Copies of this chain bind each other. A is one copy, B any other.
């Protein structure tokens, strides 16, 4: 299977994407990678690695432009036609790659994928599905920010896509779905929440009702749905708080030699929690609903995070995610009253 990697995307490019690519090619012998971006720079970076034995599964696709963080996502698709993001998506559109992976500008990737690949049959809006560590496993939050103003019907689509992805990638036969809200009772929340709650109850998913932020990390459900504005606030907030808490603990530990000695002895515990809350392990966020596999890696992705984002693309291809999503959406369309047999 061929995967297009945006080698110029992310805070540490082309270093980390190139190193992640080398790692992924070693670990997954069934993949081929197309490195998209400034070919000269990518080749120069690649020289730092030993590529013996993997060279044959590595190719290049030149792109002269890079989407900057100051660019507007939607505009970039029109104005920077030769960006590494756009070109990588083009490879999927043209059937030269089965998936695209990028650590670049989220808005640009979402816009390029939505415009060029379009959405799957039966899906109106794509959503970012983010795996988040919790007690006893992970849960998937969708939408992490692709659509800040969806309709309740789009939320139902997110619920179906999230369930399919969770079961295919994380496992289990049944993914419970919760609606992120400000109370667990069905009558809670905005008018939008009430409408979502009603539609989700009759959707072909295992709907478990509303979930709240203070219970969510105990993993009462496998999939959490919400609009992209709320989802994005949620993601950035937990990222900010987790980092600050770790920073506060470190500051306090430095305040006395005894505390520092204690910290040294208990280091293993902190490393374990750090690994558990690290986004590296789940270093790939699928844009679910577009007609092609599209994986977003975090802008500050480490080498292992990029390797794992490529792994996420590989799994999604292997698991036929998009076919399964289209099938899972089927019951929703069948609900539309069929025409009278005589009319057919």
List residues of chain A with CB under 8 Å of any chain B CB. Answer: 72, 134-135, 145, 148-149, 180, 182, 187, 189-191, 193, 212-218, 229-230, 232-245, 247-249, 252-253, 255-256, 258-270, 272-273, 276-277
Query: B233 contacts A252, CB within 8 Å?
Result: no
Q: Which residues of B contact A269 (CB under 8 A)?
A: 249, 252-253, 255, 259, 262-263
B240 touches A215 (CB 8 A): yes
- Whether A240 and B262, one on each chain, are in contact in the complex, defined by CB atoms closer than 8 angstroms, is no
Q: Are B233 and A217 in contact (CB under 8 A)?
A: no
Can you list 16 A-B pairs with a CB-CB distance of less than 8 A?
Answer: A72-B187, A145-B182, A148-B182, A182-B232, A189-B229, A213-B233, A213-B235, A213-B238, A238-B238, A245-B277, A252-B273, A256-B268, A258-B265, A261-B262, A262-B264, A263-B266
Chain B residues, CB < 8 A from A261:
262, 265-266
Q: Is the beta-carbon distance between A245 and B243 smaller than 8 angstroms?
A: no
Sample of 18 further A-B pairs with CB below 8 A, known A134-B244, A148-B190, A262-B265? A145-B182, A148-B182, A148-B189, A182-B236, A212-B236, A213-B234, A215-B240, A217-B241, A218-B240, A230-B230, A234-B237, A245-B273, A248-B276, A249-B273, A252-B273, A258-B265, A262-B269, A266-B266
Q: Is there contact, CB below 8 Å, between A237 and B213?
A: yes
Cβ-closest chain B residue relative to A181: B233
Closest to A244 in B: B217
User: Do B240 and A214 have beta carbons less than 8 Å apart?
Assistant: yes
